[in-house]
Structure 1
Amino acid sequence: MRGPHNILRLVRTGATFERTGAMAAVLDAVDAPIRLRMAARVLGWPFRWLGYKGDPTLPPITRAITALGPAYIKFGQILSTRADVVGPEMAGQLRMLQDRLPPFPTDIAKAVIEADLRAPIDQLFSEFSEPVAAASIAQVHRARVRETGREVAVKVVRPGIGVAFKRDIDAFHFGARLVEMLSPGARRLRPRDVVSHFEQTVTGEQDLRLEAAAASEFSENTARDAGFQVPMPHFALCSRRVLTADWAEGLPMGDREALIAAGHDTTDLARRVIQLFLSHALRDGFFHADMHHGNLKVAANGDVIAYDFGIMGEIDEYTRRVYAQILYGFIQRDYRLVARVHFEAGYVPRDRDEAAFARALRAVGEPIFGADASRISMGNLLSYLFEVTERFGMPTRTELILLQRTMVVVEGVARSLDPNLNIWDAAKPVVSDYIKAGIGPKAAAHDLAQIAQTVGRYGPLLPRIIERMLWERAHPEEARLTLIQARPAVPIWLVAVLALAAGAGIGLSL
């Protein structure tokens, strides 16, 4: 229940950070001003006895987050890729959240597998290891399929994880409502919608059948992407709580020293990670939305291997084109274009001044482009852009939250591989190619063909539409008394256009 009892949960969050010593570490990492430090001390210290103790063997920040639960762990995973924001020491602590959490007993994992797949574990696998990785929602075992001899990774959902997530997200919902009540200006950010979006994402991540389907679709989409691999799922060995997929052998993407020692070009890898993400987002509209270090490996041949497809992002063709034009405008430093796209897409209210918005965007972009490569950051751009859009009344676009968040995470991964990578130079060829293919004359012709084919499928309904329209015109008084009159009459010119388009669509489909 999303009631006031969640106040205790929110207070306990601050108390846990105070008790574990994480509060001071966080304030130091973000270089908090003295007033904020004093406020945190005054509010946190009296309630520290309410905080969770956590595992004293872990560093303070990791200790606090793991004690608080899976929703907090997910947030920490995102921050672990942003050493430029939280500092290298804090990022190193948070990186433990990706794949080195305490596992649950193997016997319990085997019991879950046997219950879901309805067969003894020895009948399914000839080999089954202890946990090789443990994350916030599930853990992974290395195994060998008895029937085929194929080496696989078996992912098993943590027992009781659903209840734990509901408790955390319940408190987040309460906190979001509290923010809207105490700060009416924050309603523009739609915090409740943001929390709802997060809830849908993590709920879907707990059903491993959906992850198997996502992996299969993602593999089909990226089959021709050079230097990229996706482990294929074994659907016969998958269920709601169990996922079996090909074993991915490679070095962790987060171990830069090991990659260099193995002869891999980390600059090329950093550029490729950025370009792969943008290709999947813009070209396919279906992208890996959890591309942190823990979900990426590098194969011996240099291929990037992605796994863990519990969180996938999806954006429609129209939004992709808008997003690409915004990126392209910034890359070209064409702020008028960026402003116009925002207004045409309805992202900024029509009553605002487009020219003033363009100048504000210039103030955002020019300092970034004037910096050296190591300081050119998509994360900074999003942060500054947020300030500008707030001033111009732009509401939060919940459908773009996952895309923007992943963009920041991917940049963090690329930065860890090559701190001097020029993000915009890496992004430019992908965005430019998409602009040419997705917004040029060929794209317009393709759109018209799709429209014609869609209308053509409704061709059999056209006689009924025309008959209804003619009857309404001939009997206006009677039509007004029917439910049909509640719908606007179809203009004769539109009927003619539909008829012509239907004919064209039928011809195209033939």
Structure 2
Amino acid sequence: MKLLRLAKIIYVTLRFGLEEFILGHERFRWLRPLVMVALFWRPLDEPRAVRLRQALEALGPIFVKFGQVLSTRRDLIPADIADELARLQDRVPPFAPEIALAAIEKAYGKPAGEVFAEFDPVPVASASVAQVHFARLKDGREAAVKILRPAIAHVIAHDVALLYAGASLVESLWEDGKRLRPREVVAEFEKHLEDELDLMREAANGSQLRRNFQDSDLLLVPEIYWDWCHTSVMVMERMAGTPISQVDALRAQGIDIPKLAREGVTIFFTQVFRDGFFHADMHPGNILVSPDGRYIALDFGIMSTLTDSDKNYLAQNFLAFFKRDYKRVALAHIESGWAPPQTRVDEFEAAIRAVCEPIFDRPLKEISFGRFLLRLFQTSRRFGVVIQPQLVMLQKTFLNIEGLGRQLDPDLDLWQTALPFLDRWMNEQLGWRGLIRTIKTEAPQWGTLLPQLPRLVHRALSHAGDSEVQQLREELRARDARERRWMMVIAVLLALVLLGQLLPWLSLLLPESY
């Protein structure tokens, strides 16, 4: 089956003329006449951007997601391709209405007419994994119903298998392969794809995000209607808003676009550093803007989490980076184990400075993040920096946020917008407020743990398999045995001495005949 899927990928690539993107390179132009003769049979009437979008749609959800990410990077790809790939965000060809109705009947055991007061079989949005229909519940509430695409898990499984095969080739054939840890990256991507295929899990993600921003004046999250949720169907509150990609429409409504861009950065850093739980698929198709100028988050299939250690490490790096403290950035990489311990701090610091200095104090429109990322990659390769798979989704989301900010306000200063938030967050975490909050949080656990500490230590020592602990236990037993022997000897000697002192008195008490 893998070979059949690989054959399809090759066929689609040739069918839509995607080899054009490779043959356009100077090294391969000599192959163009040969390819044109060999593939004379295919019609290529559409522009290259349309053909690329059609090819990604034909190849399935993983490739569509790749196109979604690319669509936000107008600094990396030509405008015609970015405009066309933007159609992948919520205008993937939908599946037939009868399939949607059949999916609802299978999930609930009864037809849509008995589940909802009204159900529109024509979808309002269609994405790579699912599509959305509007409905009205029996109690009158307006709802949005998300339905998984049929047999989508089967297609994704084959694509992920091919990604693993490609990752193995990268590791074995490329000198940087093991450092990049491609198989771990694919595993991280696979985990998030599996989460996206379970709509009950997506509903739980949405509920958590709504709770995190319950009283926020920056972000709105729809309510999940749990009584109507299923692994293949999710029902939530219907939200009214304007797609964030329609900047002219937002401006006509009186929305402050620069303020909207700044608040998007704040929302991102709040999710990452305050909550450690963030929306990892924030392309424009998943975001609306309410009439009062607040963000509306949709589609919670791909969320990601960070541990406290990850958050602290990232915050220190971001803060040092924004303050141009490149030595601190270098030390953080070495202390965390991302860079080898023998790395020379001064050399690493100088290399990071050479990459980062050119992009500071510039608005987004003047920064080539493509060139910046390329130089950053070259630097990491030179110093043996290990790629962290658990942060792949964060890196992807950061690119989405940066692309969205560029689309909203090219004059946005990303660094100055983020710095006050990080300063405040670090003060709260490391200052006296953070200490008090930690004590309040941990006090109940300490109160429970302290009385149990002797028993827990004894249990740990009793069950420890560590050789040093085992050796210590044996030494303690031997010492105890020696001490017991000496105590016995001393006790016997004391007893003899005492008996010698008592014998004269005992002789007076005993009868003469005895």
TM range (shorter): 0.7 to 0.9
Structure 2 CA distance, aligned partners of 1:83 and 1:311? 23
With over 3 angstroms needed to count, the CA separation of the structure-2 counterparts of 1:483 and 1:223, relative to structure 1, is closer
Mapped pair 1:110 → 2:101: yes
Alignment counterpart, residue 326 of structure 2, candidates 323, 335, 357: 335
TM-fit CA distance, 1:44? 6.9
Q: Secondary structure at the match of 2:117?
A: strand
1:140 aligned to 2:132? yes
- Normalised by the length of structure 2, the TM-score is 0.84
How far the C-alpha of 1:282 sits from its partner, in A, is 0.8
1:488 matches 2:469: yes
Whole-angstrom CA distance in 1 between matches of 2:425 and 2:466:
45
Match of 2:220 among 229, 239, 260: 229
For the pair 1:314 / 2:305, whether they are aligned, the reply is yes
Contact 1:11–1:47 under 8 Å retained in 2: no
In structure 1, how many angstroms separate the alpha carbons of the residues matched to 2:377 and 2:309? 22
Q: Which amino acid aligns with 2:256?
A: D
Matches within 5 A, 1:78-477: 78-129=69-120, 130-146=122-138, 148-369=139-360, 371-376=362-367, 381-447=372-438, 453-465=444-456, 467=458
Cα distance in structure 1, aligned partners of 2:94 and 2:278 = 28
Any stretches of 5+ residues in structure 2 without a counterpart?
A: 474-514
Report deviation, 1:171. Answer: 1.0
Deviation of 1:271 after TM superposition, in Å, equals 1.4
Aligned residue among 14, 29, 34 for 1:18: 14
Q: Which amino acid aligns with 1:280?
A: Q
Distance 1:402 1:37 in 2: 36
Does the aligned pair in 1 maintain the 2:464–2:470 contact within 8 Å?
no
* Equivalent AA in structure 1 for residue 26 of structure 2: I
**Superposition map of 1:41-60 within 5 A:** 41=32, 59-60=50-51
Alpha-carbon distance, 1:259 to partner:
1.5
CA distance in 2 between partners of 1:169 and 1:375 (Å): 37
SS of equivalent to 1:164:
helix
CA distance in 1, matches of 2:359, 2:471: 52
Aligned residue pairs total: 472
Q: Distance in 1 between matches of 2:30 and 2:469?
A: 63
Residues 144-179 of structure 1 show CA distances to partners (whole Å, capped at 9, x for unaligned) of: 102x11111000000010111111111111111111
Q: What TM-score, normalized by structure 1, do the two folds share?
A: 0.85
Deviation at 1:224, TM superposition (A): 2.4
CA drift at 1:381? 4.7
1:228 Cα deviation from its structure 2 partner? 1.4
Q: Contact 2:363 / 2:412 at 8 angstroms: preserved in 1?
A: no
Whole-Å separation in 2 of the counterparts to 1:457 and 1:322: 30
Percent identity of paired positions between Structure 1 and Structure 2: 37
**Separation in 1, partners of 2:234, 2:409:** 33
